Amino acid sequence: MSLDETDRRILKVLQRKGRISNADLSEAANLSPSACHRRVQRLEKEGYIRDYVALLNARKMGVPTTVFVEITLQAQADEVLDAFEKAVGRIPDVLECHLMAGTADYLLKVVAENTDDFARIHRQHLARLPGVAQMQSSFALRTVFKTTALPV
């Protein structure tokens, strides 16, 4: 199924205001409430809307420090990649893990309280990941722009 302009309007609003009422969403999408509700159900069923979440304030949650960690593995064999991915998925401080093309094999996004907390995460978790040959960490000094909204 392809998305029409009405679907796109609904998705744009929901990405920014996930708790919006159906009545307000239908008004923003220029639809009747029942037609809007049916469209949202269809978008959910067809997988365009994957989930609804609350986005937490990292500073209030005590993890204001973001660290990007580049990891190079010793080998590219499937079993090495699988073991690494399974192990990294169990580290609660890792928010994202991406298999990369380029100089590093993986890029991780890690949150921590501060540099001491990141040292603990590194020592207890990252340094124990299987198959790692090299690791380089970069601390974000300031977040200039951040969104979870995809272009629609």
- Kindly state whether residues 77 and 116 are assigned to the same domain: yes
Nearest in space to 96 (alpha carbons), one of 82, 81, 110, 86: 110
Q: Provide the number of structural domains found in the chain.
A: 2
Residue 135 placed within a domain: yes
- Kindly state whether residues 71 and 99 are assigned to the same domain: yes
Domain span at residue 80 reads 65-139
Q: Which two tokens stand for residue 109?
A: 């996004």
- Kindly state whether residues 135 and 91 are assigned to the same domain: yes
Q: Domain holding 10: CATH number?
A: 1.10.10.10
Q: Is-above-0.75 flag for pTM?
A: yes
Residue-wise pLDDT tens digits, 89-121:
999 999 999 999 999 999 999 999 999 999 999
Q: Answer whether 55's CB lies under 8 Å from 148's CB.
A: yes
Phi, psi of 51 (to 5 degrees): -170, 170
Q: Domain holding 88: CATH number?
A: 3.30.70.920
Residue 51 placed within a domain: no
Residue-wise pLDDT tens digits, 15-62:
999 999 999 999 999 999 999 999 999 999 999 999 999 999 999 999
Residue 149 placed within a domain: no
